[in-house]
Amino acid sequence: MVMETGLAIEQVEAQILRAMAHPFRIRLLEVLAAEEECVCHLVSLFDKPQPYISQQLAALKEVGLVRDRRVAQRVFYRVADPRITHLLSDIKVLAGGTPELLSRHDPVAGCNCPKCEIAGAQLPEQR
C-alpha cells in the first residue's frame, strides 16, 4: 500500500488520514474490507447516487486505500491491503464500538449485480 510520491512519510500519513476522515468513506471501507463489491451494489446498499459513490471511491483510491478492477461494464472495488481491515477495527474500538466489521455480502433490493442476483434467487420471497 506504500504510495510512491516522493513526499515525507508524515505527509503521506496525513493524506491517508485525510481520506479516511469522512464518515461515509469509513463506511465504504468497512464494506470493502468484508468483500470486493461492484459500484452498482454500493449505490443500492447506500442509496446514494453513482457519481457520489464514485467520487468517494476515487478519494480512497488516490491515496492507495482501495483498488479496482473492471469486468466488462462493472467496476469492482476492494481494500488495497488487509492491514486496512485491522486499522478500521482498531479505530472502531477506540471510538467505543465493537471490533466486528461486516463479514459478508448481503443481497440488496434493487441491485442487479451478480452476487445479489445469485443470493436473491436463494432467498425466500418476501411478502
Global confidence as pTM: 0.80
Q: What is the pLDDT of residues 47-104, one digit of tens each?
A: 999 999 999 999 999 999 999 999 888 899 999 999 999 999 999 999 998 877 665 6
Q: Domain spanning 9-122 has what CATH number?
A: 1.10.10.10
Which is it for strands 37-38 and 74-79: parallel, antiparallel or unpaired?
antiparallel
The pLDDT tens digits for 31-40 are 999 889 999 8
23-34 and 9-20 helices, crossing angle to 10°: 90
Q: Round the CA-based radius of gyration of the chain to a whole number and report it.
A: 16
